[in-house]
């Protein structure tokens, strides 16, 4: 983020205590946004092996080496009444509501019994715990050390059927209270590892990975695969059983998960074997596109497991036929790699993609002939081609075996000139083709702009690469903020008189807190982004002690500040404009398989023209496998699947957008509570109370974005992000013109100078100095193997 994140300095507590945070409440009783700046906490990405070194990220003493250590016995060694009480707690506690019956049984089986005696301390305030405790019998009193808590809380007693310590299951935090046994009894303890194992969806993840490995699905996006996987059913056929029968209605596609099958056909009264299929083979694809009859019979040769995708399930989930969906994904992927199209917004790119049409060529056919005037650009959908050129009367093979996803003939889109080489089909080939006439009609006057932007990017890349920037080249204007291990400064590049936001990170602190990968990842993501509503990384450099990133300067202040001053919410047209900017930015990030993971008003800036920029990629992640598991972000914006520690996709950002749109309309949050656990319970339940100030279109889009099941959430189903921009709330917004910045923003900030930062509320900045861990050389003395840790920065 161009401005530092403001981590809350509060003691996080569970259901046994109250927090120093003010309650947020439901929509009708929520604290105004203006009161929440100091109350939001950001959950940084921390693995269990990094707890000690990551303590500073979780703020004052939020991590301690002391953990709950009490002897426990398996739950099945206790009497029937105790087990019934345990089962009742698991059945009725909101934390376990999303679990299936089998998973709840696993929770009960993994819980360990603790026979407690009077005076025994179960958990101690200030220590780190990893267990939830469920009371089968006895009584347990809660007490507080006011010197640690700095607030007054009434004592509580827990008895049969109740539980405490839920927060420890979700993330590592200090206990907010001491719980002592006051009447001998039995507790069941469930540790964090056991809890997470109960939520493990390894079968779903394996199915997801399997589908992405098959040729039919490997061109789909992770969210598309996840959505399709969620509606597939698994079936098992024994050897000799018929999977599909010739002549029957073709109503489903099948993918062989294990085993083998034979394809046979009846001709002249005899059965003829056509082929055999094994792992990963797909059949019945036509069933997804049109009504048809089976043209062959498929019989299991051995015990065979298949995944079945029914036509109706697919149509409910996706309006676009699978072949067209695959074509569009392939074309978008290719165009995004071409420098000419990098300046296009997602909506404009979609419009261009829709103009491609498939062309088929038999083996040996000439697709392009050297010397002929070119009019078409080709993307290979299937098959192989060979590129040749006649030189001095001899035909030379320029490139052989060019296959799926590669392209040729792009020069024909820009100018009329003879082809410089020939392209011939080696096998049967299907290309997705774009005619110059359609290209010009789609882009019109934009072509010159795209050419100019491409030239500017090329020049800038070369110019910055050749320039060795040092701190001596920059003039520091003022400090914008100080975070845990870095600071953000407003600087001016003296030679060009260009202002930037400079993020400075201490190498020693980044290394000591094991955040090297995160910092390198943030720099990588920034370097990948080229979008009007995302920050641009001008350059990155380092010296002996620090890392530096120069980014675009947006001087209009935070969206958060606009909400504070909005007197109860933003007008409908303003919400539509701002939500449109954020939606466009998320579409771009998700196309790159980047999940932002910390979308909130504090991480959205207003640029000098009044458009928004989504910033702060410190928690962002490239989902190379389509999903992630890490629990991170800001409590009030966490999606249910993250709260429940399930694998999640980019769909978590669409949930956060729903929360953000609600906040823009109301200056309140849709979910809130006086403790994190209660907040998580409300997030999981996803019951929203809409005040009258939210218009019907707002209610509809928020409800669809705040759908607790990610595979049915707006943005993650059917047409993906296109479903979001086509929602009727955006009916008046032209996304192409928005991404071109041709619209009039609802608010244009007053900026009196290129370095005028008065739109930022300095009262909210964290001005405490970053934690010191010693000079870089001192860190290297302790860890000499880390000398090359930042060589790729």
Say what percent of the chain tops pLDDT 90: 31
CATH class as words, domain 73-199: mainly beta
**The predicted structure's pLDDT at residue 32:** 44
Cα–Cα dist 220/322, whole Å: 9
The pLDDT tens digits of the residues spanning 622-673 come to 987 778 888 888 899 999 998 888 889 999 999 999 999 999 999 999 998 8
DSSP letter string over 189-220?
A: EEEHHHHHHHH--HHHHHHHHHHHHSTTTTTS
Please confirm, yes or no, whether 598 is among the known catalytic residues.
Answer: yes
Q: Is the pLDDT of residue 568 over 80?
A: yes
Q: Which carries the bigger pLDDT value, residue 535 or residue 779?
A: 535
Q: Is 503 annotated as a binding residue?
A: yes
* CB hemisphere CA count around 28 (13 angstroms): 6
CA distance 747 to 21: 32
pLDDT surpasses 60 at 749: yes
Rounded to the nearest integer, the mean pLDDT of the chain is: 79
pLDDT value at residue 671 = 93
Pick the catalytic residue: 598, 616, 653, 766? Answer: 598
Q: How far is CA 76 from CA 70, 86, 185, 451, in A?
A: 18, 11, 17, 71
Tokens of 180: 């002592």
> Which region among 27-31, 110-114, 558-562 has the lowest average model confidence (pLDDT)?
27-31
Position 763 scores a pLDDT of: 57
Looking at the predicted structure, is the pLDDT value of residue 308 above 60?
yes
Of the options 1.10.3720.10, 1.10.645.10, 3.30.200.20, 3.10.20.310, the CATH number for the domain spanning 472-553+761-793: 3.30.200.20
Among candidate residues 178, 125, 123, 131, the one with its CA nearest the CA of residue 156:
178
Can you say whether the dihedral through the CA atoms of 182, 188, 194, 197 is positive or negative? negative
Predicted confidence (pLDDT) per residue in 439-495, tens digit: 887 775 566 655 555 555 554 444 444 456 788 899 999 887 666 567 888 999 888
Which range among 248-262, 313-327, 429-443 has the greatest average pLDDT? 248-262
Instruction: Classify the phi-psi angles of 358: left when phi > 0, otherwise alpha if psi is within -120 to 50, otherwise beta.
Output: beta
Intra-chain end-to-end CA distance of the chain, in Å: 18
Residue 563 to residue 582: CA distance in whole angstroms: 15
Residue among 185, 222, 183, 186 nearest 204 (CA): 222
Query: Which phi and psi (to 5°) does residue 321 adopt?
Result: -55, 145
**Which part of the chain has CATH 2.60.120.10?**
73-199, 202-315, 324-450
With respect to CATH, is domain 324-450 assigned 2.60.120.10?
yes
- pLDDT above 70: residue 555: yes
Write the pLDDT tens digit of every residue in 663-721.
Answer: 999 999 999 888 888 888 899 999 999 999 899 999 999 999 999 999 889 998 767 88
CATH superfamily of 202-315: Jelly Rolls (2.60.120.10)
CATH 3.30.200.20 positions along the chain are 472-553+761-793
The predicted model gives 334-344 an average pLDDT of 74
186, containing H or E segment: strand 185-191
Classify 557-753 by CATH class.
Answer: mainly alpha
For 537-553, give one letter per residue: b (16+ CB within 10 A) or e. Answer: bbbbbbeeebbbbbbbb
């Amino acid at each position: 983020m161009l401005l530092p994140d403001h981590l809350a300095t509060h003691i996080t507590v569970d259901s046994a205590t109250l927090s120093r945070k003010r309650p947020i409440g439901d929509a009708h009783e929520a604290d105004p946004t203006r009161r929440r700046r100091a109350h939001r906490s950001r959950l940084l990405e921390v693995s269990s092996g990094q707890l000690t070194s990551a303590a500073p990220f979780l703020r004052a003493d939020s991590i301690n080496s002391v953990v709950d250590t009490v002897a426990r016995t398996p739950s099945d060694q206790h009497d029937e009444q105790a087990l019934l009480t345990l089962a009742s707690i698991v059945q009725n506690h909101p934390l376990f509501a999303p679990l299936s019956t089998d998973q709840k049984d696993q929770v009960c089986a993994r819980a360990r019994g603790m026979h407690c005696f009077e005076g025994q301390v179960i958990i101690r305030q200030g220590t780190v715990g990893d267990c939830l405790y469920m009371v089968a019998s006895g009584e347990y009193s809660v007490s507080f050390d006011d010197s640690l808590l700095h607030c007054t809380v009434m004592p509580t007693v827990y008895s049969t059927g109740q539980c405490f310590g839920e927060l420890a299951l979700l993330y590592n935090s200090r206990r907010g209270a001491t719980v002592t046994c006051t009447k001998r009894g039995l507790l069941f303890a469930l540790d964090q590892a056991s809890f997470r194992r109960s939520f493990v969806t390894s079968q779903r993840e394996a199915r997801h990975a399997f589908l992405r490995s098959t040729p039919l699905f490997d061109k789909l996006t992770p969210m598309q695969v996840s959505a399709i996987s969620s509606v597939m059913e698994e079936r098992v056929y024994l050897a000799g059983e018929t999977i599909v029968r010739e002549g029957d209605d073709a109503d489903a596609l099948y993918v062989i998960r294990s085993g083998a099958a034979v394809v046979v056909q009846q001709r002249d009264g005899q059965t003829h074997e056509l082929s055999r299929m094994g792992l990963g083979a797909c059949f019945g694809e036509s069933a997804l596109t049109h009504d048809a009859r089976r043209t062959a019979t498929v019989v299991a040769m051995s015990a065979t497991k298949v995944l079945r995708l029914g036509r109706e399930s697919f149509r409910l989930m996706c309006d676009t036929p699978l072949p067209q969906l695959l074509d569009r994904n392939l074309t978008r992927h290719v165009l995004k790699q071409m420098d000419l199209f990098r300046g296009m917004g997602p909506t404009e790119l979609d419009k261009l993609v829709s103009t491609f049409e498939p062309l088929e060529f038999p083996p040996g056919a000439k697709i392009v002939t050297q010397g002929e005037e070119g009019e078409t650009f080709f993307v290979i959908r299937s098959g192989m081609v060979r590129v040749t050129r006649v030189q001095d009367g001899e035909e030379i093979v320029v490139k052989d075996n060019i296959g799926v996803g590669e392209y040729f003939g792009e020069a024909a889109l820009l100018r009329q000139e003879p082809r410089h080489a020939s392209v011939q089909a080696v096998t049967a080939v299907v290309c997705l083709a774009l005619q110059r006439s359609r290209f010009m009609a789609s882009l019109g006057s934009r072509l010159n702009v795209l050419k100019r932007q491409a030239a500017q990017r090329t020049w800038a890349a070369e110019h910055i690469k050749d320039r060795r920037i040092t701190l001596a080249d920059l003039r520091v204007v003022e400090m914008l903020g100080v975070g845990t291990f870095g600071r953000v400064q407003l600087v001016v590049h003296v030679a060009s008189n260009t202002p930037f936001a400079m993020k400075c990170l201490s190498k020693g602190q980044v290394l000591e807190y094991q955040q090297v990968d995160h910092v390198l990842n943030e720099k990588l993501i920034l370097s990948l982004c080229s979008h009007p509503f995302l920050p641009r990384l001008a350059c990155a450099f380092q010296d002996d002690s620090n890392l530096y990133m120069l980014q675009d300067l947006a001087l209009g202040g935070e969206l958060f500040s606009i909400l504070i001053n909005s007197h109860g919410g933003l007008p409908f047209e303003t919400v539509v404009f701002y939500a449109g900017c954020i939606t466009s930015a998320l579409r771009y990030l998700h196309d790159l398989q980047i999940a932002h993971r910390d979308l909130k008003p504090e991480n959205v800036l207003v640029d000098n023209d009044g458009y928004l920029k989504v910033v702060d990629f410190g928690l962002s992640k490239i989902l190379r496998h389509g999903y992630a598991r890490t629990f991170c972000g800001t409590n009030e914006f966490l999606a249910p699947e993250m709260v429940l520690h399930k694998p999640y996709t980019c769909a978590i950002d669409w949930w956060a957008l729903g929360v953000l749109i609600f906040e823009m309309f109301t200056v309140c949050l849709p979910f809130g509570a006086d403790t994190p656990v209660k907040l998580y319970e409300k997030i999981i339940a996803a019951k929203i109370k809409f005040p009258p100030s939210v218009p019907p279109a707002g209610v509809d889009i928020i409800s669809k974005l705040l759908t607790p099941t990610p595979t049915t959430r707006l943005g993650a189903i059917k047409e993906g992000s296109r479903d979001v921009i086509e929602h009727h709330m955006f009916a008046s917004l032209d996304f192409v013109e928005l991404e071109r910045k041709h619209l009039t923003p609802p608010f244009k900030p007053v900026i009196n100078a290129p370095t005028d930062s008065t739109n930022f509320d300095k009262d909210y900045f964290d001005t405490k100095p970053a934690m010191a861990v010693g000079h870089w050389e001192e860190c290297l003395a302790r860890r000499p193997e880390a000398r090359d840790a930042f060589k790729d920065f």
